[in-house]
Amino acid sequence: MRRVVITGCGIVSPVGIGKVAFWNSLRGGKSGIGQITQFNPEGFDSRIAGEVDDFCPPSFLSSKDIRRTPRFVQFALTATQEALEESRLDLQKIDPYSIGVIIGSGIGSLETIEKEHRVFLEKGPRRISPFLIPMLITNEAAGTVAIHFHLKGLNFCTVTACASGAHAIGEAYRAIAQDKTRVMIAGGTEACITQLAVGGFCALKALSTKNNEPQRASRPFDRNRDGFVMAEGAGIVILEEFEHAKKRGAYIYGELCGYGATCDAHHITAPSPEGEPAARAMELSLKEAGVRLDGKMYINAHGTSTQLNDKIETKAIKRAFGNFAKKVHVSSTKSMTGHTLGAAGAMEFITCLLSLRNKLIPPTINYENPDPECDLNYTPNKAVELDVETCLSNSLGFGGHNATLLVKKFK
């Protein structure tokens, strides 16, 4: 097994575009939730979301390319560009077959489906755009990134709902660790704040309806939580085989050395009641990394702000960590970003990298009324300075998909 390190990251989020703006918002407890502006939400039970404000498509896209490139792919391209620039990889000097891309998304371009379905109903099948299929398919983010940066290695997408981004990074890690490639671009992206998506999640009774106080709506682990808040964004990281990164003198954020993946095999939306499969994912990552339950550790929880998820994830952490569970710092940055679905795992993995780098644990904001069934240290409301040595990032997706990524301070 080869060592795998992270040498770059890029992010597009509701609390900032670029890792500096993103991190400054998280450390300051700033919420990115507001009223939906991408469509008129009147009549919807939930009318709030975490939208990416002031987003500009990458400069290398022409106006024609922009029209043919869906928003979730534009997010991925922007985050990839930032990650590559930070990594200082010279793509002209690297064999293009040695660099792969895995980018997950839970839904793809639902916006394209809605738009072209209206065209079909109003004008008939002959007026449907010839770009409908390539624009809506979920793998377009991975494919388009490879096309724009001329990368010819391993390339696919992961589609595991809210665990998509985490699984993408985990599978990219496996590819390098097993000596199948040297460099991987991996992460997740999502842009589905649309009428159909919001309406569907409203019908599922999954969204918060605190419409009059959007910045206080996402409140993971709080007794008064009433659902998650839809959001959008992308997170991309550059993973490298250690000797490859060392040889070129790259800056290293940390070492990815544990990845656990399991399935609840219980219910299409509800997590397994006792949290055993989610706990097993954490245990597998700890075992693979050879990490003992001591020292300075941080868990970036999936923490969606739904009744079931937060309660059961708490149970899972207790199962995995035993008596050490209450000594671990936990937080949910979805309290600030909202739930970016397929991008969440990647964005939260980047949060772990920045936590290691800056010796700071971001808070769970809006934590005001403790829930007796959620009784861990959730880093309430204010960031905590701590020289973290190990970070775990949990992602739990509809369908029972669980993924845990473990990153350590590089030594």
pLDDT tens readout for residues 307-317? 999 999 999 99
Q: Are 369 and 222 in contact (CB under 8 A)?
A: yes
242 & 283 share domain: no
Residue 120: its H or E element:
helix 110-123
pLDDT value at residue 396: 98
**162 classed as catalytic:** yes
Say what the pLDDT of residue 66 is: 95
Q: What are phi and psi of 217, to 5 degrees?
A: -75, -40
Rounded Cα distance between 44 and 160, Å, is: 26
Average pLDDT rounded to a whole number, residues 323-333: 96
Position 254 in a domain: no
| Cα 57 from Cα 73, distance rounded (Å) | 10
> What's the pLDDT at 231?
98
Q: Is the pLDDT of residue 1 over 90?
A: no
Q: Tell me how far apart the alpha carbons of residues 34 and 51 are, in angstroms, rounded to a whole number.
A: 8
* Domain membership flag for residue 90: yes
> Can you tell me which residue has the tokens 């022409």?
62
Instruction: Compute the distance between CA of residue 389 and CA of residue 151 in angstroms, rounded to an integer.
Output: 33
The answer to whether residue 75 is domain-embedded is: yes
pLDDT at 329: 96
Give the mean model confidence (pLDDT) for residues 105-133. Answer: 96
129 and 275 within one domain: no
- By residue count, the chain amounts to 411
Domain boundary among 227, 247, 267: 247
Q: How many domains does the chain have?
A: 2
**pLDDT tops 90 at residue 18:** yes
Residue 243 CA: distances (Å) to CA of 34, 99, 226, 346, 410: 45, 15, 47, 24, 13
- What per-residue confidence (pLDDT) applies to 80? 98
| Last residue of one domain, picked from the residues 247, 272, 304 | 247
pLDDT value at residue 189: 98
Residues 325 and 374 in one domain: yes
Q: Give the DSSP H/E element, type plus range, for residue 117.
A: helix 110-123
Indicate if 218 and 285 belong to the same structural domain: no
Active-site position among 9, 157, 162, 352 = 162
CATH assignment at residue 115: 3.40.47.10
Query: Range of 339's domain?
Result: 259-406
Question: Does residue 235 fall inside a structural domain?
Answer: yes
User: Domain boundary residue among 197, 214, 247?
Assistant: 247
Per annotation, catalytic residue among 329, 339, 352, 374: 339
Q: Kindly state the percentage of the chain with pLDDT values over 70.
A: 100
Question: So what's the pLDDT on residue 411?
Answer: 85
Instruction: Give the model confidence (pLDDT) of 148-206 as tens digits.
Output: 999 999 999 999 999 999 999 999 999 999 999 999 999 999 999 999 999 999 999 99
Same domain, 319 and 218: no
Tens digits of residue pLDDT in 214-272: 999 999 999 999 999 999 999 999 999 999 999 999 999 999 999 999 999 999 999 99
**Candidates 148, 167, 244, 302; catalytic one:** 302
Can you tell me the distance from the alpha carbon of 13 to that of 38, in angstroms, rounded to the nearest whole number?
Answer: 15
User: Does 224 share its domain with 321?
Assistant: no
The predicted structure's pLDDT at residue 295: 77
Q: Is 148 a catalytic residue?
A: no
Can you give the pLDDT at residue 328? 96
Q: What are the angstrom distances between the C-alpha of 124 and each of 111, 120, 121, 158?
A: 19, 4, 6, 33
- Percent of the chain topping pLDDT 90: 99
Within a domain: residue 13?
A: yes
In a shared domain, residues 339 and 306: yes
Is residue 158 domain-resident?
yes
